[in-house]
């Protein structure tokens, strides 16, 4: 049983993420949770309103969110009437990251799926602020879907890794199951100026091989230190359908995320981006 959490702001981008998720997991029995967490629209009025009026406004916003979620659920059932999927709706007052983390823990969620941008995000940027916050701070794999991405059958996955840190079996199992379902080829990319691996790196590489024993995997090594350039070049030169990376302490991805925006590094991501959090759960 797969458990998927999909935060939504009811934008076209978030609906596209829903369509991607329902297609990606269409062969698996899944509990799908649609979450709308709201606070900004209500908090903006709090300073100038009496408590009673604020509570009334909050209740109206909650009811509207519930109504919009129910309408969204009906839309999903119309384009994806899958008997393997159970749809749940959640509307609550709170900050997005806090709400997502609460439900990840409460329902033991396997993956969070969301659009790369929300309704108000700048069209020039790759990731909206909400998506970046979720990727940074949510303790669960996050799959970010570009707004206009329509091909839901990932045949080629790119997994850059430095083999430095041990991986979590549950998160690798998610990647393996996706690859197995679509008979995908997985390219593991190692970028380093050193030609050989340390003993620890060799052990971690063997663990990856064992974890992906049911998949078609290829190991690549690129000489150099510019990981961003190597990833961008590999995506351009190969028909990659999904980028998989690990966000953990001292990792390449963490360095990107904590420079506020991925754009500042130059990592060009216009394909689905699966971020593993490498946390014990």
pLDDT tens for each residue of 250-279: 677 776 666 555 555 556 778 999 999 876
Domain 2-145, what fold?
A: Rossmann fold (3.40.50)
Q: Give the pLDDT of residue 43.
A: 54
Confirm whether 2-145 and 156-276 share one CATH topology. Answer: yes
What distances in angstroms separate CA 37 from CA 9, 84, 93, 164, one per listed residue? 8, 26, 6, 36
- Answer whether residue 87 shows pLDDT above 80: yes
Helices 12-24 and 51-79 sit at what angle, rounded to 10 degrees?
50
Find the mean pLDDT for residues 30-45: 80
- Superfamily grouping for domain 156-276: HUPs (3.40.50.620)
How do the domains of the chain map onto residue ranges?
A: 2-145, 156-276
The tokens 């707004």 sit on which residue? 147
């Amino acid at each position: 049983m797969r458990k998927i959490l999909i935060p939504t702001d009811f934008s076209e981008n978030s609906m596209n993420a829903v369509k991607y998720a329902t297609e990606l997991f269409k062969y698996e029995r899944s509990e799908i949770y649609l979450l709308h967490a709201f606070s900004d629209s209500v908090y903006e009025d709090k300073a100038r309103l009496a408590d009673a009026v604020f509570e009334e406004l909050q209740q109206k916003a909650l009811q509207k969110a519930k109504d919009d979620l129910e309408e969204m659920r009906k839309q999903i059932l119309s384009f994806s009437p899958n008997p393997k999927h159970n749809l749940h709706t959640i509307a609550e007052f709170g900050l997005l990251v806090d709400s997502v983390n609460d439900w990840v823990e409460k329902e033991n969620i396997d993956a969070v799926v969301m659009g790369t941008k929300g309704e108000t995000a700048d069209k020039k940027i790759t990731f909206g602020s909400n998506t970046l916050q979720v990727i940074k701070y949510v303790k669960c794999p996050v799959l970010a879907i570009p707004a206009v991405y329509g091909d839901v059958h990932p045949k080629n996955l790119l997994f850059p890794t430095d083999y430095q840190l041990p991986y979590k079996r549950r998160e690798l199992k998610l990647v393996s199951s996706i690859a197995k379902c679509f008979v995908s080829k997985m390219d593991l990319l190692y970028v380093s100026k050193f030609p050989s691996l340390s003993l620890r790196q060799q052990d971690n590489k063997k663990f990856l091989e064992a974890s992906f024993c049911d998949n078609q995997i290829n190991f690549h090594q690129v000489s150099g230190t510019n990981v961003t350039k190597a990833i961008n070049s590999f995506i351009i030169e190969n028909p990659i359908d999904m980028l998989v990376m690990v966000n953990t302490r001292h990792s390449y991805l963490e360095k990107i995320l904590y420079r506020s925006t991925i754009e500042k590094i130059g990592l060009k991501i216009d394909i689905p981006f699966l971020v593993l959090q490498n946390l014990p759960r």
